[in-house]
Copies of this chain bind each other. A is one copy, B any other.
C-alpha cells in the first residue's frame, strides 16, 4: 500500500518518538501544522503512540480523551506517560504533553484485552459511492498545511460548498459532511492514524457558516470499536467519515463523527467540543 518508495511516511515521521517509555521526546513536524500550532489530530496520534509503544502496554485502545490547553509553538515536546492502573482486562493511562515546563495537553486513555463476546453493530453505515468515484477536494486557499496530508473526497458537506438558500430566506443547511478520507500518500490504517483522522473533519462551524473564524478544539474523545485484527485485514486506508454538530452557542459547539471501513464496519466514533468566536 505504501507509495513512499522506501522513505518513511510523513505520518510516521510526525509521530516518531525518542527518549524513555515514561518520558518521550517528539519533534513537531511542520507538514502537519494547523492555523496556530500543530493539527490536533497529529498530537492525539502522538499521545496514543506513546502508549502503544510503551513496554507495559497490553491490548488495544478503547477510549482516548485529549484536552488541548494551549497552542504548541516549540519544535519539540515532552510526553509524560503514566500507567495509573492495570486490571485483569484493562489498563488506565494518563498522559501529559509538555512544551518546556508548560502542559499543553492532558489526556487519559483506556486500553483493553478484548475477548470474543456476543456482538452486534446497531449503527447503519451511510450509503456512499466508492471512493474511486468521488472527486478529491481542490486546493483550499487559506487552509493550513495539514490538509494536504489527507486525501479527502467529499460525498456531501464540503467546505464552502454552494448550497441553495430556502425560499423563505432561512438557510436550512446543516453542518453535516460525508467523505472518504485517507492518508496521502496511502498508508495502512492503524490506531494512531485512526485517532488522527478522528480530528480531521473540518470544524463544523466552517461547513455551516461557509467562512473561516478563530476556533479550536478544547477536548477530543475517540471511542475505538475496531480490533487490531480488523484493522490488519482492511484492504485500503480509506475511511468513510460522517460528521455533524448538535448545537452551536455561547462560544462552543460540539462535533461528532463515525468512521467506517470500506466494508461497512464501524471503526471508531468521536466527539469533541470546539471553541469559536463569531
Using a CB–CB cutoff of 8 Å, the interface residues on chain A facing chain B are 62-63, 65, 67, 69-70, 84-85, 87, 89-90, 92, 94, 103, 106-108, 110, 112, 114-123, 174-175, 208-209, 218-219, 221, 223, 225, 227, 244-252, 254, 256, 258, 266, 269, 271, 273, 275-278
Closest partner residue, chain B, to A273 (CB atom) = B63
Known: A85-B69, A248-B120, A251-B115. A110 touches B225 (CB 8 A): no
Hey, which chain B residues are within 8 Å of A175, CB to CB? 122
Docked-complex contact A103 and B84, CB < 8 angstroms: yes
How far is A106 from B117 in the complex, measured between Cα atoms in Å?
Answer: 27
CB atoms of A256 and B269 under 8 A apart: yes
Q: Flag if B277 contacts A117 (CB, 8 Å).
A: yes
Copies in the complex: 2
Are A116 and B65 in contact (CB-based, < 8 A)? no
Min distance, Cβ A138 to any Cβ of chain B, angstroms: 27
Query: Are B106 and A92 closer than 8 Å at their CB atoms?
Result: yes
CB contact between A123 and one of B120, B227, B247, B275 (< 8 Å): that residue: B247
Q: Is the CB–CB distance between A123 and B209 below 8 Å?
A: no
Given contacts A65-B65, A223-B273, contact A209 B118 (CB under 8 A): yes
- Closest-by-CB residue of B relative to A60 is B250
CA gap between A245 and B266 in the complex, in Å: 12
A258 contacts which chain B residues (CB < 8 A)? 246
A254 in contact with B271 (CB, 8 Å): no
In the complex, which residues of chain B have a beta carbon less than 8 angstroms from the beta carbon of A208? 120, 122
The 8 Å CB contact of A84, one of B90, B106, B278, is B106
Nearest to A176 among chain B residues (CB) is: B122
> In the complex, how many angstroms separate the beta carbon of A256 from the nearest chain B beta carbon?
7
The answer to whether A90 and B275 have CB atoms under 8 Å apart is yes
Selected contact of A119 from candidates B121, B249, B275, CB within 8 Å? B249
Per a CB cutoff under 8 Å, which of B94, B273, B276, B277 touches A106?
A: B94
In the assembled complex, the CB of A119 is this many whole angstroms from the nearest CB of chain B, namely 4
A157 to chain B, nearest CB (A): 12
Distance of A258 from chain B, by nearest CB (Å): 7
